[in-house]
Amino acid sequence: MNTKKLAAERAVESIEDGMTVGLGTGSTAYFAIEKLGQRVQEGLTIRAVATSKRSEEQAIGLGIPIVPFAEVGIIDITIDGADEVDRRLQLIKGGGGALLREKIVAARSAKMFVIVGEDKLVDTLGAFPLPVEIVPFAHEWTLDALKGLQLNPELRLADDGERYMTDNGNYIADCRAEAIEDPAALHAELNAIPGVVENGLFVDMAHTVIVGREDGSIDTLTR
């Protein structure tokens, strides 16, 4: 049972004619974009913005109309995945490398629908490494500051062994904490470090979390 696909397709059922939709990035968002493309081909009329180049290319290939950000007021619904979701619907995102753009789009959205398999649900965030996007300039100093927070950062590498570069031309430091008991406090500490662009903690941003389960059932959790 592909629990991510199950949750993604259920989320897309919430999209209605005339909506502006935010398209997330990653393996789960991929299924949502595929289903949304199918609905567009069946006659659904929407417009969309994407959180990464690869999601935009996927959407265009499926006939989903992509519009410039300057033409968008409020996004009705953004559909995206997550790497971890806790019981308060706080998230870790950024495994796909698009956390900054995902957060910008989520902040502009009336509702953020998060789609996950049941394996992503946790009591406390932190088992998944927390991505932090940092600028290349003096990145060694930024990593030192992250070490000062006991986060054990490691620069992410691309498949070719070179440093991973985001669509924004930045690095990602994957940080390892045993448990993140206070996501809001850590979010503020991270973003106060010069050189940190944004971090993968999405605090109080998810409106609805749709969970696909191995038995084929779906749970919907709402803030």
Tokens of 108: 């502009």
For residues 182 and 20, what is the distance between their CA atoms, to the nearest angstrom? 33
Of 9, 56, 84, 102, which residue is the catalytic one? 102
* Termini Cα distance of the chain: 27
Those residues whose C-beta lies under 8 Å from the C-beta of residue 34, and which sit 6 or more positions away, are 8, 58, 62
Residue 204 and residue 90 in contact, taking contact as beta carbons nearer than 8 Å: yes
* SS3 of residue 129 by DSSP: coil
* SS3 of residue 30 by DSSP: helix
Verify whether residue 102 is a known catalytic residue: yes
Residue from 214, 38, 133 nearest 142 by CA = 133
Residue 108 and residue 51 in contact, taking contact as beta carbons nearer than 8 Å: no
Active-site positions read 102
